[in-house]
Amino acid sequence: MKEFEPGENSASIVSVTDRVRPVAIGAPVTSVHFLGDTAAFVGAEENVFLVSGEGEISPVAVHSGGILCAASDGTRIVMGGDDGKLVALSANGKATLLATDAKRRWIDNTALHPDGAVAWSAGKTAFVRSGKGEEKSFDAPSTVGGLAFAPKGLRLAVAHYNGVTLWFPNMAAKPEFLEWAGSHLGVVFSPDNKFLVTAMHEPALHGWRLADNRHMRMSGYPGRVRSMSWSAGGKALATSIVESSWKNLHFTVDPLIATLEKEAADAAGEKISFDQVRTMDDGCNVAYSGVNLICRTVIMAMLVDNQ
């Protein structure tokens, strides 16, 4: 970045920090999603805070306890809680109860499919409800660590101890098992459906090339990976970790990414740690409070937690 010279067009270059607006949520936030033009800050307990473009904050009660997971497709947010409930929230602020665990177990993972299907887990059991309302379940070998739908077809990746199970809810065939020793706590498919990557309990990622199940080891992180998100074209995988740093695993290199951490720190005015990471398809929407969202046009967006 020291060699970057904007030249005559320097006046047209806009910094990320120029587009930041502080929002006083007044509560811990675990993730941020956009429902249209509305920013939704998912609280650690009970509430989601909807923030309009004008900065108006509207808290919505969705759970009676801790909110353990959340996933969004841009039209709704689906959340699981320690009250054993799965709740969906729309952009107009309407909360809908989707499911209640029969044993009142914690619902700690959820995922959404483009056709309207939703997946969630409680203990060792993963559930899928199709867009038509049909519900099926799968018992994993151990506690479910993460869920992800494949971009093509109704196939669900269920991460657990010693690997990942690929389950087709609509087929009677035996699920496919991808083995790798250790605890797998998160999982994502690449947008082209060629790769599957998991976050390990130790500071590393593990991947498989799905065509031949060939392994890919990605280590060297200074802390456990908390969040993963592919860029829109699948050329980069952005990650965040527990400690105050982040990595971007490139297949093609964008030198402007290197400035994100510094600009995020400048915007926050204090030490930061990246808690969640998400890629953006287009545009740049920026919001921050006790937990901050720093967005990079086209490439990526990161949720930043001030400590």
Q: What CATH number did the domain enclosing 190 receive?
A: 2.110.10.10
123 and 97 housed in the same domain = no
The mean pLDDT of 124-135, rounded to a whole number, is 92
162 and 121 housed in the same domain = yes
Distance CA 85, CA 69 (A): 11
Structural domain that includes position 307 = 221-307
8 A C-beta contact, residue 99 and residue 136: no
Residues in the chain: 307
Confidence of residue 161 (pLDDT cuts 50, 70, 90): very high
The mean pLDDT of 281-298, rounded to a whole number, is 34
Q: Which residues of 78-99 are buried (b: 16+ CB within 10 A; e: fewer)?
A: bbbbbbbbbbbbebeeeeeebb
pLDDT for 3: 55
Residue 113 has pLDDT above 80, yes or no: yes
The mean pLDDT of 174-191, rounded to a whole number, is 93
115 and 92 housed in the same domain = no
134 and 160 housed in the same domain = yes
Distance CA 269, CA 162 (A): 41
The mean pLDDT of 96-114, rounded to a whole number, is 94
Confidence of residue 270 (pLDDT cuts 50, 70, 90): very low
When divided into structural domains, the chain yields a total of 3
Least confident of 79-83, 103-107, 190-194, 236-240: 236-240
- Max mean pLDDT among 108-112, 131-135, 222-226 falls in 108-112
45 and 115 housed in the same domain = no
37 dihedral zone (left: phi>0; alpha: psi -120 to 50; beta) = alpha
Domain edge (last residue) among 44, 67, 101: 101
Domain edge (last residue) among 101, 122, 138: 101
- Give 213-259 pLDDT, tens digit per residue: 999 888 888 888 888 888 777 778 888 776 544 444 433 333 333 33
123 and 39 housed in the same domain = no
